[in-house]
């Protein structure tokens, strides 16, 4: 299944690519969070980064300060939206 045709698919596709390349980025951390469900949905997800939730939040806090919480929640909502669309 090609992720880019689903809502949030651009972010997931980027995360999968960056995770394959061993990069720690916002998209690769998000894919690491969703890895178990993404694998169950048939996506080839490379081994995820350890403690992705904490690492993603810390990265967002460094980049966005007090807005980190809302940005984190928005990213998780995009991940869940993608997973729901992929399972339909």
pLDDT for the residue numbered 43: 95
Helices (H), the chain: 9-20, 26-40, 52-64, 68-87
The domain spans of the chain are: 3-87
pLDDT for the residue numbered 5: 84
pLDDT tens for each residue of the chain, 88 residues long: 677 789 999 999 999 999 999 999 999 999 999 999 999 999 999 998 999 999 999 999 999 999 999 999 999 999 999 999 999 8
Tokens at 21, concatenated: 């390349």
Q: pTM score > 0.85 for this model? A: yes
Is residue 30 a contact partner of residue 15, using CB atoms and an 8 Å limit?
A: yes
Whole-Å CA distances, 15 to 1, 65, 66: 15, 23, 24
């Amino acid at each position: 299944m090609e992720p880019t045709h689903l809502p949030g698919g651009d972010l997931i596709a980027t995360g999968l690519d960056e995770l394959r390349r061993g990069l720690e980025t916002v998209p690769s951390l998000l894919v690491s969070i969703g890895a178990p469900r993404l694998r169950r949905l048939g996506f080839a997800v490379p081994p995820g980064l350890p403690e992705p939730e904490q690492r993603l939040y810390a990265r967002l806090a460094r980049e966005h300060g007090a807005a980190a919480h809302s940005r984190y929640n928005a990213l998780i909502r995009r991940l869940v939206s993608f997973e729901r669309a992929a399972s339909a």
